[in-house]
Amino acid sequence: MNVPRPFGSDDGDETVFDDYDEFRPDHEPEPGPFLAGHDVLEGREHAALHRLARARFEDNGVYDMTFGYNLARLNLDRRHEDAGFRYAREADDPTVLRAEFTPTTEFCPQSDTLTVAAFRAWNDDPSLHEFDLVSVRVAPMHQRDVAINGRLEQLEEQFLETGEVAVEDAAAGAPGGTDEGVDDAPDVGGTPF
């Protein structure tokens, strides 16, 4: 059964996507506070890193279920020019990459899952890139940014202590099987984005 996706997929019209080798600042989200004061990547450096993101996400199944494509492709989708990832090398430690995810809407219910999946994809095998740590956060425009980023900070702390990406209890949705400190998302009704 072939069910059409309302917002497109990899099988859709390629004219709505930029190329992975391009960096178009007007088609990228603005760097937010998580990247402020750090070396924000642009041009060829951003494009090269984003191609690596595509590979890491493909290897780890980081897909946006609404759009039906590898999450890295969101940066290239001209229909959502203010959404996707921006990257910066940490000012005090260039072996740390900061990745800030801006979702398509402030109430995107996938933002928690997508940022955790991105963190795990980047850090599951650091030998595949030049960074000792890829620190991931959701942009503050998201209604649950504090809770989501708190969860990402916990995962990062566990990774730095153990050198391994924490396995989570899928039923509870947080490290170690607890939802402590994570607010429930309000019911906004309508179609999830």
One pLDDT digit (tens) per residue for the chain, 193 residues? 333 344 444 445 567 887 787 777 777 899 999 999 999 999 999 999 999 999 999 999 999 988 899 999 998 898 898 999 999 999 999 999 999 999 999 999 999 999 999 999 999 999 999 999 999 999 999 999 999 999 999 999 999 999 999 866 443 444 433 333 334 433 333 333 3
Cα Rg of the chain, angstroms: 16
What integer pLDDT is reported at residue 178 of this predicted model?
35
In contact, 123 and 159? CB cutoff 8 Å:
yes
What integer pLDDT is reported at residue 14 of this predicted model?
61
What integer pLDDT is reported at residue 13 of this predicted model?
56
In contact, 138 and 149? CB cutoff 8 Å:
yes
What integer pLDDT is reported at residue 96 of this predicted model?
98
Distance between CA atoms of 109 and 96, rounded to whole angstroms? 28
Q: Residue type for 174, please?
A: A
What integer pLDDT is reported at residue 171 of this predicted model?
35
What integer pLDDT is reported at residue 168 of this predicted model?
62
Residues in Cβ contact with 91 at an 8 Å cutoff, skipping those fewer than 6 apart: 37, 38, 39
